[in-house]
Amino acid sequence: MKDHAGEARFEATIDADDKVEPRDWMPDGYRKTLIRQIAQHAHSEVIGMQPEANWITRAPTLIRKAILIAKVQDEAGHGLYLYSAAETLGTSRNELVRLLHTGKQKYSSIFNYPTLTWADIGVIGWLVDGAAIVNQIALQRTSYGPYARAMVKICKEESFHARQGYSILLALSRGSQEQRAMLQDAVNRWWWPSLMMFGPHDGESTHTEQSMAWKIKRVTNDELRQMYVNQTVPQGHYLGVTFPDPELTFDEATNHWVIGEIDWEEFWAVIRGDGRMNRERVGHKVRVWDENEWVREAATAHAAKEEARLAASA
Amino acid sequence: MSYEVPLAPGEQVADIERTSDDHGWPLWEVFVRPKRGLNHTHAGSLHAPDAEAAIQNARDGYTRRAEGVSIWVIPSKEIHASDDAAAMFDPFTDKPYRHPTFYEIPDEVGQL
Amino acid sequence: MNKTAIDIELATYLLRLADDNMVIGQRLGEYLTRAPELEEDLAVGNLALDHIGVAQHLYEYAAEAEGKGRSADDLAMLRSEREYSNCLLVEQPNGDFANVMARQFFFDAYQLVLWGALAASHNPRLGGIASQAEKEARYHLRHSSGWVIKLGDGTAESHQRMQQGIDALWRFTAEPFEIDELEAELAMDCVATDASALRDDWETTVDRVLGEATLRRPEDPYQASGGRSGIHTEHLGHMLAEMQWMQRSYPGLEW
């Protein structure tokens, strides 16, 4: 049933740059888009734990090990905040997990690449978290209150992640020839995938217009990508790495670093599920979930027993 | 950004079962008092099988950076919320005399 | 630098405590992303960080005490499986969640009484480390005993798995309370503590929790030992190979 007063309030809220809160009336499309986007953001955090956890046992020093564990823990925490935000829209976390496990909801494609060396861990912190930060800063102004608040909380913690990564790379860049080669090799493999994190060109992004109208999205894909490139290229030069892009040039007129064309075939292949680690990432998640069903059931059973005992003694 | 993960050709958006019944651990809301003298504020939510686990999880999930001295957890279903529709709150704006800015106090009177 | 016999003894003792925490920290690090729920991954991360943090403090102190110019990382990453002096309990592999919690529970109950006693050490630096570690152990024990009870008194399947975990690890629970001449001497100086005197309190806690969990106390009298003198189970070698891989492959570099 159409709620005209509710719709008017919704539009006024969006126009005034105010926040939409959980019990407000909202268009069905707004709710659906948000559930999908927030859930996929949450899934990205959780799946993103895996490529990094891959190096916890082999971190080269105690402090690097501890910092990496703390980072992976933060990612779990970010997943927690985001699932909470998604649940305010009238769904349950278990439902969202089911959709992830059955491939009906996705996660950021960047996590479908393997972490082959220790340098990959540094590069992930620098490039992947760096890209996420650019996006998340923009999302702090998203129109849905719980999502915006989760973004503010996440942004506060995220800069530690980027610094952690860059500090690993600084050490490598000042190290032996092997270490410097390890660093360059990792950049060669992660640079283009990090650019793909920002999605298709604006012209080809079918949801951008509506998302911008609802102020879910505040900055377009290409704009975000350009911000990321501009901030990141000088950082790479400082490390003494070259970017695997022969067309990368600085445009004096626009003050922008201009990149070559992204390999959109690779982009869509990974989205479709044919990236290097797609099957492993989801497979791991599903296996761990299924193998531990008995634990979750036991906890629920115990809680019920406790309640019954309490009721009986009352 | 990539959390929007575009649909691959031929893919459909899956329908969500609009459910808040979790078939699992219940949802709890977490409130944290950041330091003495301040109120508890809402920090977020989490899933836990019982109150003790909820408090422990809240400590690990919401106070890793020493953001709190006290934690409350409450099953989400125990929270009763007002109807945020304007009908409940709009009338407040036509009683401006409740707000201090309504009154003009001469400067000579000082702090009021 | 001229180090006295007492300094070397102290370093040796500190290494045992450090190795215990390093090894269980490493095992918990392996377990991240494998926990039954997101909140438990957070909890496991917390446990791992606490143990590795304590290990780091103890390694740093041990390095100073022995005065051989080694760093904390050298002690963790460049000592061999025959030099590692952790107790056998902590090097046992993860297995399922019940096994992880059984190992954690037995160790937490030990750490709580151990750090409690060491907080009164006449060595103020060790006492300081112990005071902080005791707080952490108390929190850890709440968590692990909570799970032993939930799983023991949960479903039939969880009860069976939890009993299996308790049974499998029972034979490693006497070793932490054994003391040798070195520890006895340090205990006499009130630097270390007589761990054998802590066993009763540990048993009281364990019996209480097993009772509440409707679990059976294992009856097999066999107890394994030898970790303190570098005679480990076959598990430790594999664990160290993975942990020390970077430092062994790229010797002498900065990370």
Rounded distance between C-alpha atoms, residue A176 and residue A173, angstroms: 8
Architecture of the B27-104 domain: Roll (3.10)
* Sequence spans of domains, chain B: 27-104
Q: End-to-end distance of chain C based on CA atoms, in angstroms?
A: 28
Q: Is the pLDDT of residue B98 over 70?
A: no
All residues of chain A having their beta carbon less than 8 Å from the beta carbon of residue B34 are none
- Report d(CA A11, CA A53) in Å as an integer: 44
Enter the pTM of the model.
0.93
Contacts of A222 (CB under 8 A, 6+ apart): A198, A201, A202
Q: Is A258 helix (H, G, I), strand (E, B) or coil?
A: strand
Partner residue opposite A76 with nearest CB, options C42, C245, C246: C42
**Section B3-22 average pLDDT:** 64
Helix axis angle, A278-291 to A93-101, nearest 10°? 130
State the DSSP H helix or E strand holding residue A257, giving kind and residue range, or none if neither.
strand A256-258
Alpha carbons C130 and C138: distance in angstroms, whole number: 12
Tens-place pLDDT, residues A148-207? 999 999 998 888 888 999 999 999 999 999 999 999 999 999 999 999 999 999 988 877
Quote the mean pLDDT of chain C: 97
> A188-197, A290-299, B62-71, C79-88: which has the minimum mean pLDDT?
B62-71
Segments in chain B forming alpha helices (H): 51-62, 86-89
ipTM over 0.90: yes
CATH superfamily of C3-249: Ferritin, core subunit, four-helix bundle (1.20.1260.10)
Average pLDDT over residues A65-86: 95
User: Taking 90 as the threshold, does the pLDDT of residue A23 lie above it?
Assistant: no
Coil, helix or strand at residue C248: helix
Give the model's pLDDT for residue C188: 95
Please name the residue of chain B whose CA is at the shortest distance from the CA of residue A32.
B16
* Distances in whole angstroms, Cα of residue C36 to Cα of each of C24, C26, C41: 19, 19, 8
Residue of B nearest to C142 (CA): B56
Contact A292 C45 (CB under 8 A): no
CA distance C172 to C162: 16
CA-CA distance, C35 to A291, in Å (whole number)? 10
Q: Return phi, psi of residue A13, to 5°.
A: -60, -45
pLDDT band at A2 (very low <50, low <70, confident <90, very high): low
Each residue of C8-54: pLDDT tens digit? Answer: 999 999 999 999 999 999 999 999 999 999 999 999 999 999 999 99
Question: Does B60 contact C46 at a Cβ distance shorter than 8 Å?
Answer: yes
Distance between CA atoms of residues C88 and C207, nearest Å: 21
For the segment B29-46, the average pLDDT, to the nearest whole number, is: 91
Helices and strands of chain A, counted as H and E runs: 13, 2
- Whether residues C158 and A295 touch (CB distance < 8 A) is answered with yes
CA dihedral C154→C156→C158→C159, nearest 10 degrees, is 80
Beta-bridge mates of residue C157: none
The helix or strand, by DSSP H or E, that contains position B45, with its residue range, turns out to be: strand B41-47
Per-residue pLDDT averaged across A222-247, rounded? 97
Closest chain B residue to the Cα of A89, Cα to Cα: B18
Of A53, A58, A179, nearest to C32 by CB-CB distance is A53
Chain C residues closer than 8 Å to A288 by CB: 33-36
B70's tokens: 């006290």
- Helices A177-196 + A221-239 axis angle, to 10: 170
Residue in the structure block whose two tokens are 């009338």: B91
Nearest to C246 among A58, A171, A302 (CB): A58
Judged by DSSP in three states, B57 sits in helix
Q: Report the pLDDT value the prediction gives residue C4, as an integer from 0 to 100.
A: 85
Q: Please state, in angstroms and rounded to a whole number, the distance separating the CA atoms of residues C227 and C243.
A: 18
**List of residues 6+ apart from C168 with CB closer than 8 A:** C92, C95, C99, C102
- CA angle C117-C119-C120, nearest 5°? 75
Residue A109 C-alpha from the chain's centroid: 9
Is any Cβ of chain B less than 8 angstroms from the Cβ of A206? Answer: yes
Q: How far apart are CA A71 and CA A162, in angstroms?
A: 10
Q: Rounded CA gap, A223 and A227, in Å?
A: 6
Mean pLDDT of chain A: 94
* A274 → chain B, closest CA residue: B8
Residue in this structure with the two tokens 């799946």, named with its chain if needed: A47
Q: Let me know: does A52 contact C32? Beta carbons within 8 Å.
A: no
Nearest to B61 among C39, C146, C150 (CB): C39
Beta-bridge partner residues of B72: B31
The single-letter DSSP state of residue B34 is -
Q: What proportion of chain C, given as a percentage, has pLDDT over 70? A: 99
**CA pair distance A158, A131, nearest whole angstrom:** 11
What is the residue extent of each domain of chain C? 3-249
Whether the per-residue pLDDT at B87 is higher than 60: the answer is no
CA distance C163 to A43: 34
Q: Residue C143 and residue B56: Cβ atoms within 8 Å? A: yes
pLDDT score at A50: 98
The sign one gets for the Cα dihedral B36, B42, B44, B49 is positive
Identify the pLDDT of residue B96: 59
Residue B9, pLDDT > 70, answer no
Residue A17, SS3? coil
Q: Is residue B1 very low, low, confident or very high in pLDDT (cuts 50, 70, 90)? A: very low
Checking if the pLDDT of C203 tops 80, the result is yes
- Flag whether residue C138 sits within 8 Å of chain B, measured between CB atoms: no
